[in-house]
Amino acid sequence: KGKLKTVWVCESCGNSDGQWWGSCRSCHKVGTMKRFSEGSEASVSGGSKGTSFGVTEGGTGLSWLPEQAMVQPHRLTDVIHGITQQQWRFSLPGHFGNEVARVLGGGLAPGSLILIGGDPGIGKSTLLLQLASIIAEGSELVEQAPVLYISGEESVEQIGSRADRMKIQTEELYLFSSSDLQDILNKAHRLSPRALIIDSIQTVYLKDVTGSAGGLTQVKECTSTLLRFAKKSNVPVFLVGHVTKAGDIAGPRVLEHIVDVVLYLEGEESSAYRLLRSVKNRFGSTDELGVFEMSNSGLEVVSNPSAIYLSQQNPDSDVLAGLAVAVVMDGSRSFLIEVQALCSPGSTVSRHVNGVQASRADMIIAVLMKQAGLRIQENGIFLNVANGMALSETAGDLAIAAAICSSFLEFPIPHGVAFIGEIGLGGEVRTVPRMEKRVSTVAKLGFNKCVVPKSVESSLKALDLKDIEIIGCKNLKELINAMF
């Protein structure tokens, strides 16, 4: 009989520790360490219940190190051969397929376990139904093959009517509404699909594992089981994971360590635009970004993504003066923020800021007057950040300055220009952390110009990013000369 070993797992980052701590020693969040027993009864008796492909075979409880679950010692030459096999990808046809394939790192790797996280209602099921359809349909070069779409949230009829609305009529797409993972994998084994989709990981459960579906134990154990299935069968498996508000339900963050690829589908509630980001990829680069728009017939690729960051009111008419785009980081993700400035000459000389630190704004205004000679003394100045976001990074200084100049000079900044840089008291433009990541996001979103500190201009140019011009500025005077 296996012993029960207790560990504590951080709900937020998935770090595990042999001891309880008030805050996670890895991500430093407070109160996120949850008790977890390794080697439950299930795994002790697991051997007898193994199916032909060994769902519970070799059950040593939960695979803290997923590699342990699947890896046997390998001959080097086999490994090298295996790697070349691993590089073979199933390419995803069409506009939509290409965009997803790019985020996945160039196609669908066999046997990969892919987690798609996102808020409830953001469009994960929609995305995966579309994906299931194109994977099943194949292309001119690849024949149709079955794809199995499992939903624990919707009935087959519900998925069917959704697919019907999206005009999906793929012969080889199989739907199954179930949350019993053992049963699901038995069906999958029989069908031998080209891909398996589990919507969502929070609804499936293993009979032999304690806890209810959606709980940390079930979610981790089910994911490990699916990892073993993917590696044994070479079938790529997609998991949907709802990002839950901090609570006792295991969020997908805990699973990030187990799976091969983590994608997040993000977007504002009020907007139809969706970003698909890769935050982890064992088979390719992270930082990939796909841009989609939710339509009546599912997700469509946005061909000119830079436009979605401009004020929504008038996407086609003339650009307004006083708008500039900044690039900020949230953890390891970069995203864009639009800064709006309004300089109104005369009567009330006052300042109002929204979404920008008031002291930072005051400093930038003072520097603009003193070091760049901008005569904005007599103006009321309003600063605002679009969509109620907050700009807390100094990396946004340059965009704030540019927005103020643009409004004051009544000279609109053209479409597709972004600004990254901190401003010092001498009016100098300074570099900020992760310049490369920020600039590559801007390039991927279809911007054609990026204004950066002079000191990093040449190293950024050396990146050789497609279709984007890097403009280095030493100080605010150079910014004004370059832009206005």
Place of tokens 């070799």: 58
Residues that bind Mg ion (CB under 5 A): 125
For Mg ion, the closer CB: 129 or 209: 129
Specify the DSSP class assigned to residue 67: H
Which residue has its beta carbon closest to Mg ion?
125
DSSP-derived 3-state class of residue 115: strand
Question: Least CB distance from residue 119 to Mg ion, whole Å?
Answer: 11
Least Cβ distance, residue 165 to ligand TYD (angstroms): 6
Cβ distance to ligand TYD smaller for residue 111 or 267: 267
H and E: helices and strands count for the chain: 13, 21
Q: Which does 351 bind (CB under 5 to 8 A by kind): Mg ion, ligand TYD, none?
A: none
Q: Which does 118 bind (CB under 5 to 8 A by kind): Mg ion, ligand TYD, none?
A: ligand TYD
The nearest distance, CB 116 to ligand TYD, in angstroms, is: 9
Output the six-digit token pair for 16. Answer: 């595990």
Phi, psi angles (nearest 5°) of residue 150 = -100, 130
CA distances 196 to 45, 235, 281, Å, are 27, 7, 19
Sign of the Cα torsion 429, 434, 435, 438 reads negative
Which has the closest alpha carbon to 444: 108, 103, 107? 103
Q: What angle do CA 272, 276, 282 make, to 5 degrees?
A: 170
Identity of the residue, 27 or 294, whose beta carbon is nearer to ligand TYD in the bound complex: 294
- Minimum distance of ligand TYD from residue 200's CB (angstroms): 8
Nearest-approach distance from CB 195 to ligand TYD, in angstroms: 17
CB of 167 to ligand TYD, least distance (A): 9
Using the minimum distance from each CB to ligand TYD, give the nearer residue, 126 or 379. Answer: 126
**Smaller CB separation from ligand TYD, 111 or 123:** 123
Handedness of CA 63, 67, 70, 73 (dihedral sign): negative
Residue 120 interaction partner, one of Mg ion, ligand TYD, none, beta carbon < 5-8 Å per kind:
ligand TYD
Min dist. Cβ of residue 123 to Mg ion (A): 8
CB closer to ligand TYD out of 133 and 440:
133
* Residues near ligand TYD (CB under 6 A): 118, 120-126, 162, 165-166, 294, 296-298
DSSP 3-state percent helix, strand, coil across the chain (nearest 5): 30, 25, 40
Q: Of 122 and 383, which has the nearer Cβ to ligand TYD?
A: 122
Residue 359 contact among Mg ion, ligand TYD, none, beta carbon within 5 to 8 Å by kind:
none
Closer residue to Mg ion, CB minimum distance, 174 or 447 = 174
Shortest Å distance, C-beta 209 to ligand TYD: 25
Q: Provide φ and ψ at 377, rounded to 5°.
A: -55, -45
Minimum CB distance to ligand TYD smaller for 274 or for 360 = 274
Rounded to whole angstroms, the Cα distance separating 63 from 193 reads 25
Q: Are 198 and 175 in contact (CB under 8 A)?
A: no
User: Per residue in 274-285, is it b (16+ CB within 10 Å) or e — as a string?
Assistant: bbbbbbbbebbe
- Give the Cα separation of 92 and 166 in Å (integer): 18
Measured from the CB atom, the residue of 165 and 375 that comes closer to ligand TYD is 165
Residue 205: count other Cβ atoms within 10 Å of its Cβ.
22
The site partner of 294 among ligand TYD, Mg ion, none (C-beta below 5 to 8 Å per kind) is ligand TYD
Least separation in angstroms between residue 118's CB and ligand TYD is: 6
Peptide bond into 200 cis (omega under 30): yes
Taking the complex as a whole, how short is the minimal distance between the CB of residue 302 and ligand TYD, in angstroms? Answer: 15
- Under a CB-based contact definition with an 8 Å cutoff, are residues 417 and 447 in contact? yes
Choose the one of Mg ion, ligand TYD, none that binds residue 126, judging by a C-beta under 5 to 8 angstroms depending on kind.
ligand TYD
- What is the rounded CA–CA span in Å between residue 325 and residue 336? 7
Rounded Cα–Cα distance for residues 94 and 147 (Å): 18
